[in-house]
């Protein structure tokens, strides 16, 4: 896999695309619609983020017409806590959702979710695909005007894939499959079909249309034509296969999610051949989902709704593709917490910002852009000023967290803070004096290969960052 700088943005390429795009103008006296696009396990490795080896033309075009956030961070790098945090505008310690099983209606039952707030102000809110984690108990009926819709397409399409999946009981099937099938034979193609139909049905009323795509989540199954966009022989495994030096082993990713798939090692690394196959499958799934996003946005354009619709696209967290020898997410490292975020607002000038933004900021931003009042209790800030001016002074830090079982200590939590220069993490455990630290200098070590928290020369810096971390997100907020 070619190396790329996640903070680098190909401004010239996007400026060229933006020059060919018609500038949107908001229709007068109409409520602003919202097309809310979620993508599962999408890391910011796309053409618009400088990764020219990835085929993502439709997402790239959206970026060229809106604002691309080079440094957007989720609040916890796993599906349910991240999505719950985004949809409630609250951080995991406030939602008390740190796992895949807890329902936020059990912990904060009266919270008003993002789409629910739009419903309270005259919008039709509809969900298709994966927005919350889970189809039943973890989905939230109060958030939608009608029952949430989920595709029922089987994950595997070939006889081999179906047989392996059927015979593995509580474990998963093939990690990668490339069936020669139409796009809508798989879940995300069916979701795009449904979204297109919904746009036609809702075009004459204010809507909040949430469209959640499953890929590139495991298993990496996409129609063969998307695999054909890439040459596996050209794919190289990650160039930093070792864990960060001097970092605690219990902070690392164990990637048990991938180990459940057929042929994956139960311990130790994957082979180079397996790494190439997995990266190939991931990239094919990104291109497959990109095509479905393109279909939905094209229909929005065809219906004449683009000049009155805010589009926001986000991946729920990052994803490791062999970085540090890890796969999946489930860490506090940059590869897990850093995620793509794009917003397109009618009438805006396209732009790119390096400001530090957080997923809890999406809720207040959409409300402000659409003229919806903010409910009490939100823990983010509207980044509308960055849409108007990408260089606007902004937050001094973004915050994430992840729980861990710490040997000899018990259940602990890592609180991680991304500043302009550093990623700093403090590990602690309730009722215990235990503390452990990680510090990565992103000016000199953008891949977080060396933990420098224990270096004597950094003792005062660690104290300073500890004070900043403990001051919390409130102290990092932008001046308005």
Distance CA 286, CA 42 (A): 7
Kindly write down the DSSP assignment for every residue of 264-281, as one continuous string: --SSSPPPHHHHHHHHHH
- The full length of the chain comes to 480
**Beta-sheet strands, E only, within 13-123:** 33-39, 67-73
Q: Which of 74, 79, 285, 367 is catalytic?
A: 79
3 state DSSP class of 191: helix
Beta-carbon neighbour count of residue 365 at 10 Å? 23
Distance CA 372, CA 366 (A): 8
Distance CA 419, CA 417 (A): 6
- Terminal-residue alpha carbon distance, the chain: 42
3 state DSSP class of 31: coil
Strands 124-129 and 338-339: unpaired
The secondary structure of residue 450, as a DSSP letter, is B
Closest Cα partner for 261 from 232, 214, 320, 220? 220
The runs of H, that is alpha helices, within 338-478 are: 362-370, 384-388, 459-475
Q: What angle do CA 196, 115, 396 make, to 5 degrees?
A: 110
Is 285 one of the catalytic residues?
no
**Beta-sheet strands, E only, within 330-420:** 338-339, 341-344, 351-358, 398-406, 410-418
- Within 13 Å of residue 341, how many CA atoms lie on the same side as its CB? 26
Query: Dihedral angle at the C-alpha atoms of 348, 367, 74, 48, nearest 10 degrees?
Result: -20
The residues near 251 (Cβ < 8 Å, ≥ 6 apart) are 331, 332, 404, 414, 425, 427, 438
Whether the Cβ atoms of residue 320 and residue 218 lie closer than 8 Å to each other: no
Is 217 one of the catalytic residues?
no
Closest Cα partner for 326 from 386, 410, 392, 251? 251
State yes or no: cis peptide before 153, omega within 30 of 0: no
Q: Which of 58, 124, 133, 324 is catalytic?
A: 133
The runs of H, that is alpha helices, within 325-458 are: 334-337, 362-370, 384-388
Residues with active-site annotation: 79, 133
């Amino acid at each position: 896999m070619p190396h790329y700088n996640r903070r680098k943005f190909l401004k010239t390429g996007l400026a060229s695309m933006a020059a060919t795009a018609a500038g949107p103008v908001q229709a007068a006296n109409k409520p602003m619609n919202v097309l809310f696009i979620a993508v599962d396990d999408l890391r910011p490795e796309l053409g618009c983020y400088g990764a020219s080896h990835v085929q993502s033309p439709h997402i790239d075009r959206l970026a060229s017409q809106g604002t691309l956030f080079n440094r957007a961070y989720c609040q916890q790098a796993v599906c349910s806590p991240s999505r719950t945090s985004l949809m409630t505008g609250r951080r995991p310690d406030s939602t008390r959702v740190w796992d895949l099983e807890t329902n936020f209606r059990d912990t904060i039952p009266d919270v008003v979710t993002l789409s629910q707030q739009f419903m309270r102000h005259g919008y039709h809110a509809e969900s298709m695909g994966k927005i919350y984690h889970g189809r039943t108990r973890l989905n939230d009926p109060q958030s939608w005007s009608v029952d949430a819709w989920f595709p029922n397409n089987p994950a595997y399409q070939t006889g081999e894939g179906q047989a392996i999946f059927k015979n593995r009981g509580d474990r998963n099937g093939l990690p990668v499959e490339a069936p020669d099938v139409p796009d809508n034979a798989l879940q995300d193609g069916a979701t795009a079909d449904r979204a297109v139909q919904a746009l036609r049905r809702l075009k004459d009323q204010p809507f909040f249309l949430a469209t959640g795509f499953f890929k590139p989540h495991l298993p990496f199954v996409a129609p063969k034509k998307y695999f054909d966009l890439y040459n596996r022989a050209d794919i190289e495994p990650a160039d930093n296969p070792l864990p960060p030096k001097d970092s605690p082993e219990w902070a690392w990713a164990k990637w048990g999610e991938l180990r459940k798939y057929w042929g994956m090692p139960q311990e130790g690394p994957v082979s180079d051949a397996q790494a190439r196959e997995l990266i190939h499958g991931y990239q094919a799934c990104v291109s497959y989902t990109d095509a479905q996003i393109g279909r939905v946005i094209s229909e929005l354009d065809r219906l004449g709704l683009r000049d009155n619709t805010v589009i926001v696209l986000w991946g729920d967290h990052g994803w490791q593709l062999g970085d540090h020898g890890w796969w999946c997410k489930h860490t506090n490292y940059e590869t897990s917490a850093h995620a793509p975020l794009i917003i397109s607002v009618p009438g805006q000038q396209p732009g790119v910002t390096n400001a530090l933004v957080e997923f809890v900021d999406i809720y207040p931003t959409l409300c402000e852009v659409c003229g919806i009042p903010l409910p009490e209790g939100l823990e983010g800030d509207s980044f509308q000023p960055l849409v108007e001016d990408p260089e606007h002074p902004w937050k001094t830090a973004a915050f994430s967290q992840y729980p861990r079982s710490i040997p000899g200590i018990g259940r602990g939590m890592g609180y991680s803070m991304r500043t302009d220069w550093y990623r700093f993490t403090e590990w602690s455990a309730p009722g215990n004096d235990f503390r452990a630290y990680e510090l990565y200098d992103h000016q000199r070590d953008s891949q977080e290969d060396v933990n420098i928290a224990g270096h004597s020369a950094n003792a005062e810096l660690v104290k300073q960052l500890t004070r900043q971390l403990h001051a919390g997100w409130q102290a990092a907020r932008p001046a308005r």
